[in-house]
Amino acid sequence: MNNKRLTLHFQIASKILGYDHMKEIKKRSECPVSFSLDFFGDKWTLLIIRDIVLHDKHTFGDFLQSAEGIATNILTDRLKMLEEQGLLMKYPVAGKARIGYCLTEKGVTTIPIVIEMALWGISQNNSDLKKELTAALRKDKAGVIRQLTSQHIQLYRLHKSNTTLNT
């Protein structure tokens, strides 16, 4: 299917599903780097994933508290897009009238990307994550990625089974 037809199909599906306002993902070429940039083309998408992975944030209110100051309309749009693309799953927060978000099995595949970007930022900007996390990454990056991946897959499976039981 050519790029124009793919874009048209995405636009039609978005209108049917009620996501007219969502960020349109256009595929410009067959290059995997280009596709990744098209998907993660703005800072907010990766910052939401960063907040889930590195800062244990899971609710709309949590994301709004991030230092970067995302606007509510942009946050709503990115959360819907990440859910629609299968990277996030909504779940009810126990005992509260709120919705949480967790990475799906597809979403956890972004953990190494976030870690590499964080390490690059540390090396280029003399900034830091939590000191313990930075030290652990420098000592055993692969182990930390495995641990984070396992932790988020378990969280996803827990919420998926609870959501399935409640429906």
Domain residues for the domain of 55 are: 38-166
Please say whether the beta carbons of 23 and 44 come within 8 A.
no
Asked whether residue 26 is domain-assigned, the answer is: no
Asked whether residue 4 is domain-assigned, the answer is: no
- The CATH code of the domain that includes 44 is 1.10.10.10
- Residue 13 above 50 pLDDT? no
Residue-wise pLDDT tens digits, 93-132: 887 778 999 999 999 999 999 999 888 888 888 776 778 8
Asked whether residue 100 is domain-assigned, the answer is: yes
pLDDT at position 103, please?
A: 98
Q: What is the mean pLDDT of residues 127-156?
A: 91
Asked whether residue 27 is domain-assigned, the answer is: no
Residue-wise pLDDT tens digits, 49-99: 999 999 999 999 999 999 899 999 999 999 999 999 999 999 998 877 789
Asked whether residue 161 is domain-assigned, the answer is: yes
Asked whether residue 23 is domain-assigned, the answer is: no
pTM (2 d.p.): 0.77
Listed in sequence order, the DSSP H helices in the chain are: 3-17, 32-39, 43-55, 60-64, 72-84, 111-125, 131-166
Asked whether residue 89 is domain-assigned, the answer is: yes
- Domain count of the chain? 1
Asked whether residue 11 is domain-assigned, the answer is: no
